[in-house]
Amino acid sequence: MRAAARSTGSEDKADARSRADARSRLPSVDRLLSTSEAEALITAHGRPLTLEALRAALDGLREKPPKEGADPAAIALADAAARLARLSQPSQRRVFNLTGTVLHTNLGRALLPEEAVEAVAAAMREPSNLEFEIGSGKRGERDSHVASWLIRFSGAEAATVVNNNAAAVLLVLNTLAKGREAVVSRGELVEIGGAFRIPDVMARAGTKLVEIGTTNRTHLRDYEQAIGPKTALLMKVHTSNYRIDGFTASVTAGEVAPVAKAKGLPLVEDLGSGTLVDLKPYGLPHEPTVAESIAAGADLVTFSGDKLLGGPQAGMIVGRCDLIAKINKNPLKRALRLDKIRLAALEAVLRLYADPEKLRHRLPTIRHLARPKAEIEALARRLAPLVAQALAAQAEVSVTDCASQIGSGALPVENLPSAGLRLAPKSGSADKLAKRLRDLPIPVIGRIADGAVTLDLRCLEDEAAFLTQLRA
């Protein structure tokens, strides 16, 4: 308006007049609401959201009036329908994880087995004995549903569970070392993605960090010399997401344990991923197990539920009975406890560990990690011509070798030989092609490198859904 008023040219004036005319031709909200199209939108989305979408569509047309001859009512209704369609999509949606990172934190880490999905549905639908002993009719313990399994698989005396491993570490430190000191090697002061830093967690727990050794070398005598009257515990942290190579020395939990014992101090080990089983029989590199850590003399071990364990987000604390009892009495435990839904999922996942053969087939995390390269390559060869056909105009498709990662900080330098599809764009950039794949109804997330998009097929199981939407 201001531009029109300021201008002197007759063309500008004519332009402004025609826009004002177009605005005056816009239908009212009431008129739009009385159409059969709006009625259908109200049935699908409800009246409040439909009204909001129609108003937003009209606002848009007031800003940018329709062209001469166009039907403003039809445009507004179509715009409102598009707005409502976007709004009705769940925010958290299914995607295809073809990044090659099996436990991808940004894509939700571990996928749960059907056993867990069913247990969760049942726990959500009906009342349960979450904190109720059916035998005695008395109040029960919510952790009891998973503690006995954790004890069985770790060899520890007792177990408790909280929101995640970050919470487990916080709770252990706050319970055993508030206002006192915890001794940690400089080589183990890790930062896990998403702002979990051991020194910061220590500070929040009210624990004073006593750093020992150097970045590359820590010796047993460093632990011995650091122990003083204020020392509350000795801590080992699994350097999940990096490795120090070269002139290095570190002390194992087994070597620190006797020192801790002699001084009457608990030895706490944060294992990070902490697998319950040896991964070697599944063709994977060795990752320290929780049972090994307990056997080596750790008094408490903490680990994640949704990393190698393959369960829901959770943090386990296993170890000495007296220490677990103290932890359970900390008021913070209540703030960090698990809900019935995740406890149901965790129990179902832990049950699978009773049978290693079942585990290999039923637990998606192990199934994906142990999937042989030959099988993935056969899948790639099967899919390549079909994908090439679907993307004929857009990309050159070839079968390629690639390397998967476990992810979530487990075995960071170890790669798993895998296979996939290399999509080289025929025109435009790899970024644009990747965007088009993300815009599919079920977004396909790959990896961009060397001017192409690579789809690592290790985690692709639903071939049919993948192809159907690509063809469409």
Q: Which residues contact ligand PLP by CB under 6 A?
A: 164-166, 169, 190, 192, 196, 237-238, 240, 270, 272-273, 304, 315, 409
- Measured from the CB of residue 169, what is the shortest distance to ligand PLP in angstroms? 6
Q: Which is nearer to ligand PLP, 285 or 428 (CB)?
A: 285
DSSP 225-273: HH--TTEEEEEEE--TT----SS-B---HHHHHHHHHHHT--EEEEEET
Q: What is the DSSP letter of 405?
A: B
State the nearest-atom distance from the C-beta of 272 to ligand PLP, in Å. 2
C-beta of 297 vs 305, nearer to ligand PLP: 305
Give the nearer residue to ligand PLP in terms of CB position, either 279 or 383: 279
Q: What is the DSSP secondary structure assignment for residue 304, as one 8-state letter?
A: E
Q: Which two tokens stand for residue 88?
A: 């009705």
Strand bridging mode 416-425 / 300-304:
unpaired
304 vs 400 by CB, closer to ligand PLP: 304
Closest approach, Cβ 222 to ligand PLP, in A, equals 20
CB of 93 to ligand PLP, least distance (A): 22
Least separation, in Å, of the C-beta of 268 and ligand PLP? 12
Residue type, 322: D
Query: Residue 17, exposed/middle/buried by CB under 10 A (0-12, 13-18, 19+)?
Result: exposed
Q: How far is the CB of 369 from ligand PLP (least distance, A)?
A: 17
Decide if 430 contacts 441 (C-beta within 8 A): no
Q: Output the smallest distance, CB 302 to ligand PLP, in A.
A: 7
Helices marked H in 309-372: 321-329, 331-336, 340-352, 356-362, 364-370
Which segments of 354-426 are extended strands (E)? 395-404, 416-425
* Torsion angles phi and psi, residue 421, rounded to 5: -115, 135
Query: Is the Cβ of residue 315 or residue 446 nearer to ligand PLP in the bound state?
Result: 315
**Closest CB to ligand PLP: residue number:** 272
* Pick 54 or 166: Cβ nearer ligand PLP: 166
How many angstroms separate the CA atoms of 404 and 401, rounded?
A: 10
Nearer to ligand PLP by Cβ, of 26 and 162: the residue is 162
